[in-house]
Structure 1
């Protein structure tokens, strides 16, 4: 028995020694080098199936990891599964990769040294593993950096994509730069695909696993048997959803890889084969953004293609994915009406547009066509099942759907062609005569002409007067029915809205000009918010109509949309889209769960973009005058939208400042209101700065229930924390990254400067929030 035990120990020792030797034979030691052109050009895994080294691209090279193809199949090739610095330009053939004496992994090229891996300590060695993972090890033999932690477009068998991590597609099979699509393993447990060129919004998603609203830490896992699974790490790696079946009969012989392909589809492959075992969806045109702006996707012989919509041509000739632009000059909007002498309508069948329209209403097909032709903001109108959806350029997310019975009307521009080589017609040449009869006729004709002109003017004057009296009486009776045609808004009767709100029973809240009630239209199919105004009658019909025109012409995803109104007798009611998730004030100050940091950043950017639209993208600038969390509402997708234009002030197109009485809500009002100074768009910037601080900290600007007196006023306390380098206090040390937090607080502090000149424009605010502009250190707001 003892001899058997000793034999077992010896066998274990020699087996372990052999395994150790096998592993160390592929260890990459310090001072090791590979070269782009001359051998060695790569470091290989123990089995030789994976390689880390130089990848040819165009006339140069990139650094990456690939599956080595040892088959004799002419269709097979080395498959790249990871790339370093993928958006850097290719390097020349003289480039080298070195694990330096100091323990750094770098690439040396003509333009200097490029770091491949950011590591917390010096590496002692490296290894290209048989799993496809390239690993740097520290002095204690611990992994200090792994390529598996920084995936590009692919995960391999045994690899996980943790929550809040993303795969980005490559541009094409030969271009490894970041492409047009992204796949997010979201922190809420949902795996979602989006276009990559925009900040991900729920309305832009084109594929998802539908596993959101879970609790825990999530990951996407591709196991060694080819099974794609969504799991929860906090519950013993519990599988919450399996996307495909396993292929266990090939286990140990096959390398599985799941890739977000250049066409936006997520597919599972094996070895170096180009045939997929599984894919997320079958119709490639499902991928939003597959075709660029103003084009649509269609599948012919199982191959997707992009086509420009009528009235547009390719931006880049031969590049069908880059989108299209107008091939005519669009007339300027004047009063919201199109000059129909410069435009006409053409149609296309069975197209669908998944972008949000700026206008949607029930109407006939002919009315939809005419409505788009008359509306200068409309570039295309999709008509389907008695619903007219109007869109503006650029059009997004278009595709042909043979199952859809829709018609899309496209507005096409035309020009009047003038003949510049005209000659004078002989009939128009004046004949000069000097006969006496002619001289006698001249005064007679003059007197006759004057008499006739006076009579005609008198008749015309009486006609105009009577017409204006009739028109004025009709206007008093119908108030703003003409406005409805101009703005394409629905005119409701008071009875309709009273029935829709069940006698104004369910109050949603109170605004500065009245209460808001929940209503049901179209036999309960459409929820709306009905605002019952109380003070507009005193301000006069003319001002009410000008306000209506301003609000009715605003079309932006971050503004609550005005659907219609009622001006019956003394009643003034506005009908808005219903926002199912309440106000930002409810979410920040009264909700049991504080929104996470990413949600707060997204909401802050949504609000900033809405104000930017009012300030710079409307026909005339609009100062909202009452930006506060109560006036920021959240729709079913938690998108933030600005509401309550009851206090809005319109500027002339060339006007930058105006005098007006104090408006707004205490705590959000800019200092210049109190000084009776002319106000500008910067008053909204100040209010936004206060709201931004409230979003960051999830508390009110003035809070008497705090533990320390210096924290009562949020704006002052925020600057104190900023100056002391203690920003973590503002977010209760919830683990927010320091740089994004510092950026958000800096923007807020610049917005609330006492001097309006120091405040940025809303365009500057958006650029700073999105990281496109550097932010200098803000001074004390009250200095």
Structure 2
């Protein structure tokens, strides 16, 4: 009997235990000591009674990082309505982290190693937690009073049943997928005025509002705003102190019982009301905004000290759905291609250097013309009466002017950074944007149709170096062999000296071209070895390199025959009283890098600078071309080591970039194929080109200790040339132009 009675009592008690267990899982109540873990399973969240909302760990772009948040649990996109935050940053946790409900501390988030990541600011002893069907997670005391809740710590969204008190706020995200605090705020100010404004991150300094309800104290007592209310019927309004309402919007026939409703301050600065059906089949989504403010944020947001909707140097435009989109004007690129609202950066640097002022302005800039585009807070001078042509010309010749806007006989000149950019069809204006000319040549597609001056050059050394610039037009194999008498006769006895060891002649080769002859005196080298090395050089083929026509060999007197370039040396070009434009200097450097890159990588020829102690770029002969469209820019210099006297040991040593004084016994008599690469070759030339004055060779004590002590024979060949090509090829003018600073 006792046993039967016990069984009946057990079965009877289970009738009560089962409903209690089911109720404890579905009433949203969370007991002290409960925890959830950051995983992709069902143990990563606490659900509301209806299952509409979940509180816990939401994966962010994968399964390793989780956002501590509240989201709609029944809709596919899991829209977040709240997330934990601290110091403007969202609280994220690695996989395996745990959230515990503690009686004294409330919610405590620990990483897998047990370290504390975050905890709720709880006042009082916690008896339990509740995840409500309103989307509010509440920590309650033993009397069911609230000691902490998410509705009192909102992020970017307000839900039906939620209010915002004075000095309360919503803050936007930085982007659609970045939950860090953004630039836009909705605030109920202390004076009762509900405003939308931007802030200057990382501070909370608020700029002037771009929307306001003006619910401040007026002639009617108690007219100032007390709360922002979003009631369960879907009405959104400012409740005044006297009980009156400033209606923002109503649900407009959308049933709050059949739809999820939310009002969100979006990352683009628009405060909008959305609806999503609770019951749906197929692919349901949030509606277009039922209501939003401001109507045209591009025109409404105008900040004297802020960056506008889209950041500096950008243009705000409205899409057909009246949401803003951001664009960069031509000559500018996005700071962050993944976040177009951060603004744009110029692709070049403007300046007022004396050498720029001395250069022809048409070589420096082009002008892009836009219609009805303005940056209204970036003016620094206003000219009136004026014409459009004069406005354009005034900006073009003003080194401070980046943009000029003309309308109604008035010219507004603007300087960088440009702020609050927008398109306004009512302006009836012309906008002139100063920008850098496009790159003349692509490295991969060397097809240039421009008529800009091209500079073809040879970096040619003293009698101890032959710095050879070659031509792509050269046929396979080495060129002609000339007798010493032929060259002596053609050059009138070597009487017309072009440079040290150089002589001009008028000579018929094929259809007839002018040539320059380089004499190599007292070269101790085997004739066949001399011819072999010249043959290696002659087989380089590149349209950017000048022709090597032939050679002469008579005992120890040897000469090389090149195509003659009539414009003189680069030194005379870049060091002249009238400086070359920055565009010309860039093209020169671009050509240098292309020539070096071709010779060192495509032809595996080792490059050498023409430096020895106290010898600079001015001693190198660099010959510009005589026709604008004759050749693309290109230069190189090649050491033919067997042509050098063995006594010139220190020169080859310094060329390797090692410490000068430690290499005095280094031999310069190795073959061409065994020479060490020199990463400094182009770096000696670029500063002289950019500064337009002589930059001497770097002394040993000026070299970084790591480079000065280097003796690795396998460092990358011509890193400087490769980097320069990459910089210029991507049109990153800033890196090159910074050299002038």
TM-score (norm 2): 0.49
Structure showing greater Rg: 2
TM-score, scaled to structure 1: 0.46
- Normalized per residue, the structure richer in helix is 1
- Select the structure with the greater relative contact order (CA < 8 A; seq sep ≥ 6): 2
